[in-house]
Amino acid sequence: MLLYPNAKINLGLNVIRKRSDGYHDIETLFFPVPDLCDILEIVHAASFRMQVYGAQVAGENLCEKAWRLLQERYGIPPVEIHLYKKIPMGAGLGGGSADAAFTLKGLNALFGLGLPDEELCALAATLGSDCAFFIFNRPMLARGRGEILTPLDFSLGDHTLRIYPQEEFVSTREAYAGITPREPARHIDAIVKLPVEQWKGLLVNDFEETVFARHPRLAAARDVLYAEGALYAAMSGSGSALYAIE
């Protein structure tokens, strides 16, 4: 079985409050990027094996965690997973989360488990805050820690989206360091109804303040995108990738 886990961007990201469980309540619009994908192969095997090509993942890969989750709950047999990483890591593009979610969907199909998307979504949420989004893989307004999803009828229309990966690696822990949670003046679902030309200054990513202070080259790179004619430019998620809408 061959699958193509795709990237996502965040259109706006508000960090609203810190929760008692240590996580933060956020608000963001997850938007899939189908043209930027990893390559995931899952095949039957006598024993479990995970092979990663391209960028290496420290620790246990989320694909392996996804298999172990279904193995423990539903007794699925071993598989061999080959993952070719093309989505940059530490970029805020959701590559690891996409890999995990697509592994769940692939194993569900491969072994005929018949799990509906809602159940896969709940399982994915235990693996990572934005994993659940990739089960549905369509524009979603996300709240809570990113797992409370509401479908949004949204598209970029005739606009062009361009992704600009950066050399810097930004961890989620680093992005949250020093951030001040606050209620947004306007909610994202209302802002994205406006023409893209009006988003600048309204559609914000709260992580930019913290990350740009530590990585000033990223702020400069975003300013270049505006200087070159972007209607809207921002950092995706906790960074470091930038994107521009033209």
From 18, 121, 22, 127, select the one nearest 67 (Cα to Cα): 127
Strands, E, within the chain: which ranges? 2-3, 6-18, 24-37, 39-44, 49-54, 79-85, 140-143, 148-151, 161-164, 232-235, 242-245
Torsion region of 144: left, alpha or beta (phi above 0 gives left; psi -120 to 50 gives alpha): left
Q: Is 8 a catalytic residue?
A: yes
For residue 106, the SS3 value is helix
Of 191, 188, 213, 197, nearest to 245 by C-alpha is 197
One-character DSSP codes across 180-214: -----SS-HHHHTTS-GGG-TTTS-BTHHHHHHHH
8, 38, 85, 105: which is the annotated catalytic residue?
A: 8
Helix 207-214 × helix 216-227 angle, to 10°: 110
- Contact indicator for 235, 207 with CB cutoff of 8 Å: yes
Q: Which of 21, 130, 189, 223 is catalytic?
A: 130
Beta-carbon contacts of residue 41 (< 8 Å; ≥ 6 apart): 1, 2, 3, 81, 82, 83
Positions annotated as catalytic residues are 8, 130
